[in-house]
Structure 1
């Protein structure tokens, strides 16, 4: 065999190995959860009945979804929640829609007394998703809604 053929074969084998190693690394790289299609809805209490606040979102990760934490806050408060702070807030209720995706809903009842103490104007929803493999995604402003009286 000539040296040219051996050298060409060796270069081809190295290139093929590099492509295969890159593909394996890419295939095994964990993905971060995704929070999509988020929406917030506020209904003020009326006529002596209760109102409600609901935030829904589709959350997905290739390992499955463990949890979605939700924090609701008025823009006027100048609050700037961090991902670490959202580890300790209430969770949404998540129902699996596939092996990788869950539909999550966070609902609060709002009494007339609650509504009287709420700041009027824009409110934000912050969300923190956690996957089964421990990956997290933080969305500081996952949705917005208005509170009026």
Structure 2
């Protein structure tokens, strides 16, 4: 093999590998959001004092987190048989998010629970579903990000 052929082959290989590396880096930047440290705390109403549901999660996306929606649902609901979808989450309520790192936001959803709300709510295990949307429009849906019990 001539020296010129070897140099052209090496140059072509470097160009191909460099292009593949650039594609891999670009693809790595387009991952959907991730959720971490999701917790739910339910406090039942007591007398004339309202209760509450407080849900928190950390959402991370390299393109930024554009919004986070939250939906609490009883474990014995129709969503147990028919999985929740992003379409189901379209009318879910937004969480309030504050920056907490380079690409991470800490999101909190708070819901007041009146005595009447508690009386009408099914008893037992509940789940919290979360839909996080990144700046690049990718999404992550966790249908059981956290759970709590209504007693």
Normalising by structure 2, report the TM-score. Answer: 0.90
Q: What do residues 101-140 of structure 1 show as CA deviations (whole Å, max 9, x unaligned)?
A: 1000011000111111111111011111011121111111
Structure 1 window deviating more from structure 2 (14-23 vs 101-110): it is 14-23
RMSD: 1.3
1:8 Cα shift? 2.3
Q: What do residues 28-62 of structure 1 show as CA deviations (whole Å, max 9, x unaligned)?
A: 22121111111111111113201100110000111
Structure 1 window deviating more from structure 2 (53-62 vs 78-87): it is 78-87
Secondary structure, aligned partner of 1:83: coil
Which of structure 1's runs of 4+ aligned residues deviate more than 4 A? Answer: none
Any conservation in 2 of the 1:87–1:128 contact (CA below 8 Å)? no
Aligned to 1:74: 74
Unmatched segments (≥5 aa) in structure 1: none
> Residue 4 in 1 paired to residue 9 in 2?
no
Q: Following the alignment from structure 2 to structure 1, what is the Cα–Cα distance between the partners of residues 2 and 93?
A: 67
> Residue 143 in 1 paired to residue 146 in 2?
yes
Aligned residues: 146
Q: How does 1:1-149 map to 2 (within 5 A)?
A: 3-29=1-27, 30-79=30-79, 80-148=83-151
